[in-house]
Amino acid sequence: MSGRAAHIIVVGNEKGGCGKTTVSMHLAVGLLRLGFKVGCIDLDHRQQSLGRYFSNRRAWMERSGIDLPTPTMVVMQPSNAELKAQAAAQEKAGLEGLLGHLARQCDFVVIDCPGSDVALARHAHVHADTLITPINDSLLDLDLLGRLDPVSWQLQAGGVYSNLVWELRKERRAAHRSGIDWLVTRSRLSALSDRNKQKMAEILPRMSKILGFRLADGFGERVIYRYLFLWGLTVLDMEQAGIDLGGGKSNQAARQEVISLLRSLWLPKVNERLDRL
């Protein structure tokens, strides 16, 4: 991929707590372990969850003496301009400059967006070659994508986030003459079957045809995804990092979930390397 601009992957959703940072971390480490050069941008300057994740990773590397693959990591800082319009313009220019810099060094750039509607996140979406939207396996989260009739369960109108993506897709086509490959993933999937899970499985495929996204399973409701934060590790790192937390079968299942997500993204030159994981 040398000589080409990096492929930009944006992980976005206006709702917090849906697993965006967990997806971003595992995606970045997965691509690194496949031999790609990866840059990461954390747009949530307040929480800095992705930035903290990789900070923990560097700390564990220093403590353990183990060399783990680590991306180029940047946390975007807000503008200190007093006027809102001026601040937005400065932040937009800052993001464009950073993307230009990383695109010359990396094969992929992963952008982790905050769980809110902010101008900088909107601008990041316009640059997305691939957009990943994790949603919890809940009808409440589904409302961000589309408004459903409570009797017929038919889609009545687009939700606030899908309407936003629709507008930003048009802006991207005008600016870059290319579209956004939008993938919605169901996160925190329970192993148990219930009415909510069945309805999600019925409704999402119908919505995808109307709203224009692809659909894939995300990560299950597994303690391991949350527990590894303090080490800055992913389920792809555990063997090399020398950490044994038990739960062998569950951890192997989590590893397969990460590989399955990478396969579903249709990223350039990725699927032909997945046997390295």
Q: What pLDDT digit, counting tens, does each position of 9-62 carry?
A: 999 998 877 889 999 999 999 999 999 999 999 999 889 999 999 999 999 999
Q: Taking residues 77-90, report their average pLDDT.
A: 87
Mean pLDDT, residues 6-10 taken together: 96
Q: What is the pLDDT of residue 74?
A: 95
pLDDT of residue 193: 60
Q: At what angle do helices 20-33 and 49-64 cross, to 10 degrees?
A: 50
Cα–Cα distance for residue pair 72/93, rounded to 1 Å? 20
pLDDT at 4: 52
What backbone phi and psi angles, to 5 degrees, belong to 182?
Answer: -105, 120
**What pLDDT is attached to residue 192?**
56
Residue 6 binned pLDDT confidence (cut-offs 50, 70, 90): very high
pLDDT in tens, 186-225: 887 665 566 777 888 889 999 999 999 999 988 888 888 8
Instruction: Please give the distance of CA 192 from its chain centroid, rounded to a whole number.
Output: 25
- Gap between the Cα atoms of 94 and 137, Å rounded: 35
Residue 247, pLDDT above cutoff 70? no
Section 169-195 average pLDDT: 82
In the chain, the domains with their CATH numbers are: 7-276 (3.40.50.300)
Max mean pLDDT range (111-125, 178-192, 231-245): 111-125
Query: Which class for 236: exposed (0-12), middle (13-18), buried (19 or more C-beta within 10 A)?
Result: buried
Lowest mean pLDDT among 30-39, 76-85, 117-126: 76-85
